[in-house]
Amino acid sequence: MHIAVVSPSLLEKHVKSSPLLERAVQVLEEDEEVQELLRLANVFAVHRLKYNDHGPTHARIAAGAALELLDLLIDANIMPSCIRDGTCTDLDEARLIVLLAAYLHDIGNAVHRDKHEYTGALLAKDILDRLLPRILPERGPKYRKLHYSIRQEVMHAIYCTEPDIMCLTIEGGVVKVADGLDMAEGRARVPYKLGKVDIHAVSALSIKRVEISRGHERPIRITVHMEEWAGIFQVEKVLLPKILKSGIDSYIELVAISRGKEVLTFPEKTY
């Protein structure tokens, strides 16, 4: 069984298989405004608030994890919402929506942490208007309409990363869940070194690895490996609420393991 470890290299795997995604990542990573917003997101979130990483590395990790989740759903014959509803035309465009939303989802932190999902969706509008013609360069009315549709789907997915907002698309759901999967210890090291010693930092430092694989009874299985019980806080208070508001919770199995023992399962096992 294939197991994908949530890490920056996961994005590279998906980009290699798609010229469209490869071009999109190149455009995003060469764009001065996008990269500066991600840098500023970390200035606000990490250095001013001592939160976990919300910058370029988190963007890449979330994008790779979101694409992995989407492909598992596609493999299980679950159609992306944009294809079902006619806002895009093929699976590569659905993957592009997920990539763009996951990569840009935290840019609102460059304004303020409060309501950053809403702010980020608004900031993304002009960025997408500028970048989409470079990513999908075909000209004509058909492609202008496609750019508008993709833009709005991306804005929806960014907005829906807000914890209490229910996702209305498969694409938004995988981005929301992927955001919560970047929880391994490396993400908390900088705020911890800056002096943040609270349950969020200690819990994140306890998580050693997060894996995505095909589920036993559902399309997706997420496995969280923890060194200490403190890691359960991140799973229960950060990841699980995102899953429950993702709209794709019925497709996901979640298990948290501490020192070889299952300490949390979703759906909860009955014996």
pLDDT number for residue 46: 79
Question: How open is the CA angle 135-139-144, to the nearest 5 degrees?
Answer: 75
Residue 44 lies in a domain: yes
Tell me if 116 is assigned to some domain. Answer: yes
| In contact, 228 and 208? CB cutoff 8 Å | no
| Inside any domain, residue 249 | yes
270 within a domain of the structure (yes/no): no
Q: Which residues of the chain have pLDDT under 70?
A: 139-140, 185-204, 269-271
pLDDT given for residue 183 in this prediction: 86
Host domain of residue 255: 3-264
Q: Is the dihedral of CA 179, 185, 186, 190 positive or negative?
A: positive
pLDDT of 9 reads 93
Residue closest to 49 by CA, chosen among 238, 266, 257, 198: 198
Per-residue pLDDT at 92: 96
Whether 271 is covered by a domain: the verdict is: no
What pLDDT was estimated at residue 187? Answer: 54
Establish if 194 belongs to a structural domain: yes
Q: Is residue 181 part of a domain?
A: yes
* Number of domain units in the chain: 1
